[in-house]
Amino acid sequence: MSDDTPRPVKQEQRSATDAIDEVAPGILRTQLPVNLPGLGHVNMYVLEDDRGVAVVDPGLPDKQSWKAIQQRLGQIGVPLKRVHTVIVTHSHPDHYGGARRLRDESGAQVVTDRRFHLWWDPREPVDLDPEEVVQVSPFSPPPWGGEAQRPLLRFGFRWQLVKRFPRLMPTVRPDVRLADAQTIRLAGRDWVAVHTPGHTHDHLCLFDPTEGVLLSGDHVLPTITPHISGLAQADSLSTYFASLDKVAALGQATTVVLPAHGDPFGGLSERVADIHRHHEERLARLCQALDALDRPATVNEMSQHIFSPRAQGPMADSETYAHLEHLRREGAVDRFEQHGLTHYVAA
């Protein structure tokens, strides 16, 4: 297949529709528009109870998404004042974007993982160890060398202002921060918080043992794998593997997985095994490529062995770096710096 050949559209890439489906008892799936690489929508789940509704992941912080939120709730017959809780699965804009306005309009509580934090917010999260806070500015050169992402440099001045005057870019501040295994009552039953770092340091899944429902956010998606950044944790891939194993342990008790993108699905344990296999294959390809090269190679060079030409760019480099660092920590490759760039070589 040539690089110009159209590829099948995956579930997560489909554009948002106005369809509303009951996907579990007391839970409706709605879709909000998202225009991000590889994504066409985000699922905003609406959980109904005698107090009103809770919503999960209310989309991007833009006018189109806000309009869609109001339309979807209107279709269900829920006025904004009936939204009592906003759950944000993690600190990416297509998940937290509408949370602040929903709270402002309805008085709802915003619920996140205990570690929730936005990279550009210079304020420390409350009651957290500073070592748990991840603050990697995309305006800085990446740790593997080279230049910062040029499309973001134009925001550098604004970033400096925000660091000094945080109110210039108001952000959502959680009202409730859930610790791992803590419970919260939604849709008339208790849900268990499952801390699942890897995709982000603050990723939250919620598990309903009564009906066997897992709200999986981006942690487990039906046909694509979430981005594993080399900027988030020291060994993001190991962290992600451990989190996958954590939810796989719920497999026998899970009847349906409700992902942030794509369709609800069953077979959680099988899907986790597929994702594990996907990353193991990438690790093997990197090792094989370094053996064949028989010389040091940069992160950008190695990225071309596991990502297609159309996928090349900062995100591909970041995920490649995460895989190479995982291999280095396992003793499979060595790393050294030369001419301002990180190089890897087979150990």
State pLDDT tens for residues 127-170: 555 545 454 565 678 889 877 655 444 444 555 555 566 555 55
Q: Which residue has the tokens 């939604």?
A: 186
Angle at which helix 236-248 crosses helix 314-329, to 10 degrees, equals: 80
HSE at residue 200, side-chain half, CA atoms within 13 A, is: 25
The strand pairing partners of 45, in sequence order, are 29, 56
Does 342 have pLDDT greater than 50? yes
Does 5 have pLDDT greater than 80? no
pLDDT band for 218, please (50, 70, 90 cuts).
Answer: very high
Average pLDDT, the chain: 89
* pLDDT the model gives residue 172: 82
Instruction: Choose among 17, 298, 335, 252: nearest CA to 146.
Output: 298
CA 222 from centre of chain: 14
* pLDDT the model gives residue 253: 97
Q: Which domains does the chain have, with CATH numbers?
A: 11-118+171-266 (3.60.15.10), 119-170 (no CATH), 276-346 (1.10.10.10)
